[in-house]
Structure 1
Amino acid sequence: MDSALAVQLALALASMAGVLGYRVYFRGERAARAAGRTSRPMPVPVRALMTVSVVGVWFVMPFLPQPLLGAWPDAALSAARAPDLLPAMPGRWGQLLLGAPFAVGGFAVYVVLMRRNATVTARDYSRPAKLLMSGAYGHVRHPVVVARFLGTCGLVLVTGAAYTALLLPLLAAQLWLTARIEEREVLEPCFGKQFDVYRRSVPGFICPQVLLLAAVLALGLIVPWL
């Protein structure tokens, strides 16, 4: 296996540690409440693990040396390497210009939504003060996950990172798992019937707007290999 691909794969798999830490924290808080103990804030090590593994790792991966999107696996272009922020290859400017709004917009929306989340989890991260259902949450139940994924896809297009592009399904699986953990361990126990009604009326990740954005990104990621 190519050493660059091995590094990418190792980082992608290591990022799953954050998902495990997330689950252990929420399970521990549920057990504490069942035993009559007071909930505690998310411990700093767990928060740091989540930030580094779930967010930081996937932000760094596209900037590590690897074949260039659209060049690999063409032997004639094997010397082309990502990140490629000053494109020389035909078509790379199109990828960069397509990816930049998704990267900037996706991560900006992510930050805004995380700050909104903080308003209902400030006192107890494992027991939100209320169920967010308006704004972006009126279109999909997990807009933070959608913003993270679309933003990372945009960053992959900006850098031209071929191996990171190949591993995006692992990121999708990781984000799906974190969303499922939140629903099962936090939202269902805390909001019961209210969350059940919300879940039945609002999709988890895909709405017409997200579907359109995903289709545009998919073209940018797939066309270079056709």
Structure 2
Amino acid sequence: MASETNQDASQSDGKATGGLKPTTAMLIADASAAPAEHPHFIHSLALHFAETAIFLVAVVGAIALGLGITAYFAEHHYVLAYLAAYAGFRFSDLIVREDAEDSPPRKELGRRIAAQLPLLATFAAAPFERTYIYGGSAPAFVSALGLLLELLGMWLALGARIQLGFFTSGRTAEHPVLVKRGFYRYIRHPIYAGTFLVTFGWTLIYGAPVTAILTLIIGTILAQRQMKSEEAAMSASFGEEYDAYRRETDALIPDIW
């Protein structure tokens, strides 16, 4: 009867009884729920941008093929060989790569796209420098050296990743393994070293000294920053064992760095 009395009172005042005004608790709940949707929107927007960028690259590639870039590859065998080998390298690297299980797929995609931006800049800068500054083709021995470095880099990066997976097979989160065999016996970051050789080889394929120097400088800065972050995490995980390993080995180049 109490509820009926309240209803009658509402009607006598001429006020609608079909809905309730939001309480303070309801407003607080809505406000706290809003930020949860914001990261989702940002990730979705990033994926759309990435999809658009990939589509535009595909369109540019189709136009380039229509303009006769295949004839260019026919005349420049070292460039075509490099691209074919690099495609195999990227495909193999994805197969043997161990993805971070604690990273959301969208976050992982964004990280991978961002990591490729310096590489894409190098791929654009080297042919631009050769075409618009020097003209013609790079000397054959320089291009051959670039292809050789690319193959060595592939062997080092892929081999190190395979060794890392092999020596850590069967590990658990409670008992991690510090790999100090194989390539890791001589340098602490063979995957970075191999990837750097692969990238630097592209600048030699085109004979682009300015791009080569910039690749050395920027690549060194980026590698130093990444290695510092990873080594701090490894030192926190393995303690004195990793500190001793770091004192006994070099980072990228034996007896140099």
Same fold by TM-score, threshold 0.5 exceeded? yes
Does the CA contact (< 8 Å) of 1:127 and 1:190 recur in 2?
A: no
Residue 155 of structure 1 corresponds to which residue in structure 2? 202
Unaligned runs of 5+ in 1: 1-38, 81-87, 215-226
Of 101, 105, 109 in structure 1, the residue corresponding to residue 148 of structure 2 is 101
Q: What is the root-mean-square deviation in Å for CA atoms of aligned residues?
A: 3.2
Q: Does 1:63 align with 2:123?
A: yes
Partner of 1:198: 245
Give the number of equivalent residue pairs: 154
Deviation at 1:111, TM superposition (A): 2.5
Q: 1:205 to 1:101 in 2, by over 3 A?
A: same
Q: Within 1, Cα distance between the matches of 2:175 and 2:117?
A: 27
CA–CA distance in structure 1, aligned partners of residues 212 and 105 of structure 2: 31
Q: Which amino acid aligns with 2:247?
A: R
Shift of 1:180: 0.8
**1:7-86 to 2 correspondences below 5 Å:** 41-54=102-115, 56-64=116-124, 65-68=127-130, 72=133, 77=134, 80=135
1:140 aligned counterpart, secondary structure: coil
Of 170, 180, 188, the match for 2:228: 180
1:111 to 134, 155, 158: 158
The residue matched to 2:239 in structure 1 has which SS? Answer: helix
Question: Are the aligned partners of 1:99 and 1:153 in contact in 2 as well (CA < 8 Å)?
Answer: yes
Residues 62 and 159 in structure 1, CA contact (< 8 A), matched pair in contact too: no
Q: State TM-score, norm by structure 1.
A: 0.57
Aligned to 2:95: none
Q: If each structure's helix is expressed as a fraction of its own residues, which one has the higher value?
A: 2
- Aligned-residue identity in percent: 21
Task: Flag the structure with more relative contact order, 1 or 2, with Cα contacts below 8 A and sequence separation at least 6.
Answer: 1
Unaligned runs of 5+ in 2: 1-99
Query: Aligned-pair distance for 1:123?
Result: 7.7
1:149–1:172 CA contact under 8 A, matched in 2: no
Q: 2:181 and 2:171 mapped to 1: Cα distance?
A: 21
Aligned mates of 1:46, 1:176 — CA distance in 2: 23
